[in-house]
Amino acid sequence: QKPVTVAEYLFTRLHQIGIRSVHGLPGDFNLVALDYIPKAGLKWVGSVNELNAAYAADGYARIKNISALVTTFGVGELSAINGIAGAFSEHVPIVHIVGCPSTISQRNGMLLHHTLGNGDFTVFYTMAEQIACNSARLTTPANIPDQIDHAIRQCYIRSRPVYLMLPTDMVEKKVEGARLEQAIDLTEPPNDPAREDYVVDVVLRYLHAARTPVVLVDACAVRHRVVDEVQALVEKAKLPVFVTPMGKGAVDEDSDAYGGVYAGTGSHPAVSQQVESSDLVLSVGALKSDFNTTGFSYRTSQLSMIEFHSTHCTVRYSEYPGVRMRGVLRKVTERLDVDKMVWKGEGKLPPRVVNKVEDNRDPGQEIKQAYFWPRIGEYLKERDIVVTETGTANFGIWETKFPRGVTGVNQILWGSIGWAVGAAQGAALAARDAGSKRRTVLFVGDGAFQLTVQELSTMIRLGLDITIFLLYNEGFTIERFIHGMDAGYNDIARWQYADIPRVFGATEKQARSFVIKTKDELERLLKDPSFCDGKGVQLVELWMPREDAPRALKITTEVAARTNALVEE
Amino acid sequence: QKPVTVAEYLFTRLHQIGIRSVHGLPGDFNLVALDYIPKAGLKWVGSVNELNAAYAADGYARIKNISALVTTFGVGELSAINGIAGAFSEHVPIVHIVGCPSTISQRNGMLLHHTLGNGDFTVFYTMAEQIACNSARLTTPANIPDQIDHAIRQCYIRSRPVYLMLPTDMVEKKVEGARLEQAIDLTEPPNDPAREDYVVDVVLRYLHAARTPVVLVDACAVRHRVVDEVQALVEKAKLPVFVTPMGKGAVDEDSDAYGGVYAGTGSHPAVSQQVESSDLVLSVGALKSDFNTTGFSYRTSQLSMIEFHSTHCTVRYSEYPGVRMRGVLRKVTERLDVDKMVWKGEGKLPPRVVNKVEDNRDPGQEIKQAYFWPRIGEYLKERDIVVTETGTANFGIWETKFPRGVTGVNQILWGSIGWAVGAAQGAALAARDAGSKRRTVLFVGDGAFQLTVQELSTMIRLGLDITIFLLYNEGFTIERFIHGMDAGYNDIARWQYADIPRVFGATEKQARSFVIKTKDELERLLKDPSFCDGKGVQLVELWMPREDAPRALKITTEVAARTNALVEE
Ligand SMILES: Cc1ncc(C[n+]2csc(CCOP(=O)(O)OP(=O)(O)O)c2C)c(N)n1
Ligand SMILES: Cc1ncc(C[n+]2csc(CCOP(=O)(O)OP(=O)(O)O)c2C)c(N)n1
Ligand SMILES: [Mg+2]
Ligand SMILES: [Mg+2]
């Protein structure tokens, strides 16, 4: 009825679900498709390499709920694969579109560039499948709209990457455009009502009876978008609420209900005391990885645990597969009878979390981790986007109390260094695409920074507002704490970080650099209104002691070293 | 008898086969293993990211016949996978060692960092297997020496990557060290003598009778190390010899026998005339990919073709599977009776190949591709290593006549941009490890350069001698010729290239930069003895017109665009 090209169909769908910028790199198998990006009202972001582009798409999706990445066959997609694997691991929805040789070339097994030279065009697909919740070869025009709609729906609902292989000869094939008038249904399928009601009843029974209930919010609460549901429950029931490191930012840390970061032995004593002595932990979206739990060190009892997941719930040892958390959380809040609750929140909420700046201020001028992170809490503003990298930053941030509305972005499970630089670019762009004027603040180690440094170029080119604290501590400090404190392999080259923005093309207006070696310099910087404005790219080379690490990191790395060394005799 | 640790065993084996430097990045699952690298007499090269490290290992192997790469589970290995796929595609032997979680953690399905969060520790292995000629999980000490020896042997003989998964709890397990006294047998298994003799007879019959025979040397002649065998045959039989683009450098271009680069319609007319009219083309190690053949444009007849491959030979339409070229080539040379040959080389060899500098010098000051590449031929010295990147460089170099002993390094089949920067680092290091003082000269596009720019830091840190011609033509010129001459997606950010070495830590002694905008400046530079010395890192920002491309590139991209656009109705 209304013929449109495959490319138009695809990119229009991306626009409809809220994507405004598409990350990626050109390659001859995707060039023609790229022509259709502006036509669909989308902006093309040429990143500097595909891994950076994938990281940026990951950051974009964490702010705008979904994102898209376009790469070219073989060389492009495989460069991006670590970024996609990270998104899969961490439940981040990215639509990955790979421009590939025409179906004719594939059928003829042609010895094309970007192939393994063996006529096999399925190898990269087979790899990609393993880190995608849906993948499709778009080879038959009649099926393509269905394939695209299905993939996008899966991507969003399951909050994981999908993979679309788009041959050059399909890009301009005509498909039915009338379908575009109806948006893709992105609502989660409802739970079976009887099963859901059953779980709700069980939960309510425990919740009404609990004497010391707490809520613990983890990664998947954010990634599967139930933060509002959690918030409603916490407010109605006046429950104390804690976050895990991966859940940090999900809860208003300025609210009375907020109790701090819980991560087993890495938590502050008051926090672990309260969570571990609770007779009912409502755990939402848990992802209990080693670095999210200080090495599996929870001392909670399964008998006081109710877990809400995106695919199931568990109550103590009872499992309810297929009962997704969203519906349950909503009904629990709705049906909760506050008067029947044994727990009365009033006056019993946890001690207020504060940035312990003064407690950690030592007299010296060195900028120690213990001091820095609480101090940063005072610098942050409402609705900042805070990106932290694997390394000391990911552990230091536990000591930072976020102002209201701050979004925390980290990759604690996958932990690929360099990710945060790309992710910050994507997150800042997503914020701008959403029409907001949020600052993006990145904390990244000097080691990690080197892996993906050129993404600064994209930040500059796009004119994004990103402030980068580069933790300059002469190498891989987190690794030093695991093994090889003085080993050469944990050293890195000394770069002139402050000059980097200029080299990547920034004018004085587009980027500013700062070298901060003392506490006094840091104080001055953090009080400078023009710095705090956060306009453009600001790069702070922040000198920190080489063998200094946040409290929680020391505990975690000890456990990691022990786990690695464990030998069976 | 002589217990040694697994790590000692492995790294000693790498040393025995000639490796002196190991590329890679640390990660907590490989740290303890890294301690054993210096103990085995190897040098650890911490690259700046894993993809760069893989590219560098590729370059190293192309000069020193084999190389090693160490990465960490998941994040590290997947970052490198595109580099390994390239090595697989292009027949480059890399021993890829991945430090992974302990067998105990794996068995327990622990939710560790760098996993997909699903307890599946086989996913990355499954991906890696597809681009390795051998892969092994080192989980049982008793089997490990066999697994290692087998993998290394396969790697070398089949000239392709192998993958070894080394769990943390195996690193220091004891294995039998007495085996180390016997070197791994790296000799190729001999052909079945009867079958080999049969093929040799057939070849000799054709060769004796041929009136206009030629030899065509391609990629796999180099990668499977039969260049000496080819040389012997060419000399004895006084045959004219041509190279394909991927075979460039395999033949002494200063010798009388050398006829030039054959690549179908992209060849110079005198070359295609001679090859295509030949009544016997002895094709050695052919890899007839699109960009190696100007879009499959050979006009040779299968009836005048004998092909020598690493796994088989073919004579006209007769195939001889399992008959490897090395043995056949040797016997053909041995048994050839020059007196019986119809062909008499004397006086009939092809016209001497020269650098056509004057023919291509136009009066303007712009540095055009047509002029640049022959001019570079005059700048190159004996035994230089010449690395060219996918882009205009890979096609321009067809017009450059190499001095004797020059090694050409390119990635025409896989064609992953950014590769050449890493590969140049590895190649230069390999040359130094081999005790030679060769210059490494890199030709890379401004677009490609940006993808892996930080590997300059490693070049500088290692004090390598690498001269970089950065073809500054404001973006993806090769892509412009395929599609989108003025499209925004073919533009790149304007960097201050000349300042990059300093930012990456180079002192004035370690690196020098040059901005060259005119022919006169270029002439002066290429005549400057200190520049020609090639010491340290030298970065030349070479201004070239945006829409200028080598002759052969224009033809090739036209075919590529046509192939991509081909549609079935
Ligand atoms: C892609 C990748 N390669 C290697 C690692 C292993 N690794 C984890 S943290 C780290 C060092 C980070 O150093 P830096 O960024 O300087 O942080 P610091 O701890 O010093 O603050 C390394 C090498 C990884 N996680 N990801
Ligand atoms: C990893 C990777 N990404 C994308 C491509 C597609 N691609 C091939 S050549 C090229 C442009 C190269 O531009 P440049 O290096 O400036 O070379 P020029 O042709 O301008 O000399 C691109 C983007 C690729 N081959 N590899
Ligand atoms: Mg560091
Ligand atoms: Mg260019």
pLDDT tens per residue across span B448-470: 999 999 999 999 999 999 999 99
What was the pLDDT predicted at A347?
75
* Per-window interface: B 39-68 vs A, CB < 8 A: 44, 46, 48-49, 51
Which residues on A lie below 8 Å from B565 (Cβ)? 32, 168-169
Probe site for chain A from B22, B108, B111, B566 (most A CB atoms < 10 A):
B111
Q: Strand pairing of B43-46 and B21-24?
A: parallel
A508 catalytic residue (yes or no): no
Which residues on A lie below 8 Å from B482 (Cβ)? 28, 31
List Cβ neighbours of B34 (8 Å cut-off, separation of 6 or more): A484, A487, A489, B26, B44, B70
Instruction: Say how far apart CA B171 and CA B76 lie, in whole Å.
Output: 18
SS3 A542: strand
What was the pLDDT predicted at A473?
98
Q: Quick one: tokens of B521?
A: 């400046």
Out of A198-207, A343-352, A360-369, B33-42, least confident range = A343-352
ipTM metric: 0.98
What was the pLDDT predicted at B347?
76
Instruction: Say how far apart CA A127 and CA B528 lie, in whole Å.
Output: 50
Cα-only R_g, chain A: 24
Q: How confident is the model at residue B379 (pLDDT cuts 50, 70, 90)?
A: very high
Q: Which residues pair with A98 in a beta bridge?
A: A71, A165
Considering only the beta carbons, identify the residue of A291, A412, A496 that sits closest to B505. Answer: A496
Q: Quick one: tokens of B171?
A: 């690193």
Which of A15, A28, A235, A252 is an active site residue?
A28
Q: Does the CA dihedral A460-A462-A465-A470 come out positive or negative? A: negative
B473 catalytic residue (yes or no): yes
B483 catalytic residue (yes or no): no
- B75-89 and A75-89 are packed helices; what angle lies between their axes, rounded to 10 degrees? 160
Q: Is the pLDDT of residue A569 over 80?
A: no
Single-letter amino acid code for the residue at B140: T
3-class SS letters over A255-318: CCCEEEECECECCCHHHHHHHHCCCEEEEECCCCCHHHCCCCCCCCCHHHEEEECCCEEEECCE
| CB contact A142 to B (< 8 Å) | no
Contact call for B113 and A412, based on CB within 8 A: yes
* Per-window interface: A 256-295 vs B, CB < 8 A: 287-291
CA of B217 to the centre of ligand 4 (A): 29
Kindly state the average pLDDT of the residues A341-362: 91
Kindly state the average pLDDT of the residues A549-557: 95
| C-beta of A165 in contact with ligand 1 (< 6 A) | no
| CB contact A303 to B (< 8 Å) | no
Please give the helix or strand (H or E) that residue A562 lies within, else none: helix A551-565
Kindly state the average pLDDT of the residues B71-86: 98
Please give the helix or strand (H or E) that residue B157 lies within, else none: helix B144-158
Q: Is the pLDDT of residue B475 over 80?
A: yes
B465 catalytic residue (yes or no): no
Which residues on B lie below 8 Å from A172 (Cβ)? 567
Instruction: Say how far apart CA B519 and CA B544 lie, in whole Å.
Output: 10
Residue A190 burial by Cβ neighbours in a 10 Å radius (0-12, 13-18, 19+): exposed
pLDDT digits (tens, 9 = 90+) for B182-202: 999 999 999 999 999 999 999
Q: Quick one: tokens of A16?
A: 């409809």
What separation in angstroms does the CA of A319 have from each of A315, A316, B186? 7, 8, 56
Instruction: Say how far apart CA B77 and CA A415 lie, in whole Å.
Output: 13
Task: Tell the residue number behind the tokens 């002469």, with chain if given.
Answer: A474
What was the pLDDT predicted at B345?
83
Closest C-alpha to B559, from B290, B245, B299: B290
Pocket test of ligand 2: the residue of B390, B449, B483 to mutate, having most ligand atoms within 8 Å of its CB, is B390
Which of A41, A113, A319, A523 is an active site residue?
A113
In angstroms, the separation between the Cα of residue B117 and the nearest Cα of chain A is: 6
Please write down the long-range contacts of A115-118, taking CB distance under 8 Å and 24 or more positions apart.
A115/A73, A115/A74, A115/B89, A115/B289, A115/B413, A116/A74, A116/B85, A116/B88, A116/B89, A116/B131, A117/B89, A117/B90, A117/B287, A117/B289, A117/B413
CA of B342 to the centre of ligand 4 (A): 49
- B75-89 and B419-433 are packed helices; what angle lies between their axes, rounded to 10 degrees? 80
| CB contact B181 to A (< 8 Å) | no
Would you say B469 and B388 are in contact if contact means Cβ atoms under 8 Å apart? no
- For residue A295, the Cα-to-chain-centroid distance in whole angstroms is 20
Q: Does the CA dihedral A492-A494-A496-A498 come out positive or negative? A: positive
Q: Is the pTM of this model over 0.80?
A: yes
What was the pLDDT predicted at B363?
94
Q: Is the pLDDT of residue A452 over 80?
A: yes
Contact call for B103 and A568, based on CB within 8 A: yes
Q: How confident is the model at residue A1 (pLDDT cuts 50, 70, 90)?
A: confident
* Per-window interface: B 192-251 vs A, CB < 8 A: none
Closest C-alpha to A534, from A420, A448, A431: A431
Pocket test of ligand 2: the residue of A28, A44, A72 to mutate, having most ligand atoms within 8 Å of its CB, is A72
DSSP class of residue A515 equals: E
Chain length of chain B = 569
Residue A429 burial by Cβ neighbours in a 10 Å radius (0-12, 13-18, 19+): buried
Q: Is the pLDDT of residue A12 over 90?
A: yes
What separation in angstroms does the CA of B63 have from each of A291, B323, B400, B428? 41, 26, 20, 8
Kindly identify which residue of chain B lies nearest to residue A478, measuring between CA atoms. Answer: B28
Would you say A441 and A413 are in contact if contact means Cβ atoms under 8 Å apart? no
Q: What is the end-to-end Cα distance of chain A in Å, rounded? A: 71
Considering only the beta carbons, identify the residue of A26, A111, A113 that sits closest to B415. Answer: A113
Residue A462 burial by Cβ neighbours in a 10 Å radius (0-12, 13-18, 19+): middle
Q: How confident is the model at residue B430 (pLDDT cuts 50, 70, 90)?
A: very high
CA of B561 to the centre of ligand 3 (A): 46
What was the pLDDT predicted at B1?
86
Would you say B247 and B221 are in contact if contact means Cβ atoms under 8 Å apart? yes
CA of B411 to the centre of ligand 1 (A): 30
Would you say B67 and B14 are in contact if contact means Cβ atoms under 8 Å apart? no
Out of A181-185, A412-416, A491-495, B562-566, least confident range = B562-566
Q: Is the pLDDT of residue B497 over 80?
A: yes
Single-letter amino acid code for the residue at B214: V
Contact call for B51 and A46, based on CB within 8 A: no
One DSSP character per residue, B162-180 reads EEEEEETTTTT-EEE-GGG
Which of B41, B108, B113, B520 is an active site residue?
B113
Residue A349 burial by Cβ neighbours in a 10 Å radius (0-12, 13-18, 19+): middle
Would you say B67 and B97 are in contact if contact means Cβ atoms under 8 Å apart? no
SS3 B16: helix
Would you state the torsion angle of the CA atoms of residues B217, B222, B223, B225, taken in this order, to the nearest 10 degrees? 120
Kindly identify which residue of chain A lies nearest to residue B113, measuring between CA atoms. Answer: A413
Contact call for B416 and A79, based on CB within 8 A: yes
Which of B15, B18, B49, B114 is an active site residue?
B114
Q: Is the pLDDT of residue A320 over 90?
A: yes
Atom of ligand 2 nearest to the CA of A114: 25
What is the residue-averaged pLDDT of chain A? 97
DSSP class of residue A141 equals: G
What is the residue-averaged pLDDT of chain B? 97
| CB contact B464 to A (< 8 Å) | no
Would you say B455 and B58 are in contact if contact means Cβ atoms under 8 Å apart? no
What was the pLDDT predicted at B346?
75
pLDDT digits (tens, 9 = 90+) for A212-238: 999 999 999 999 999 999 999 999 999
CA of B95 to the centre of ligand 1 (A): 23
Contact call for B31 and A487, based on CB within 8 A: yes
SS3 B238: coil
Would you say A431 and A464 are in contact if contact means Cβ atoms under 8 Å apart? no
Q: Is the pLDDT of residue B51 over 90?
A: yes
One DSSP character per residue, B79-140 reads HHHHHHHHHHHTT--EEEEEEE--HHHHHTT---TTS-SSS--SHHHHHHHTT-SEEEE---
| CB contact A297 to B (< 8 Å) | no
Q: Which residues pair with B312 in a beta bridge?
A: B321
pLDDT digits (tens, 9 = 90+) for B299-333: 999 999 999 999 999 999 999 999 999 999 999 99
Closest C-alpha to A45, from A73, A59, A24, A61: A24
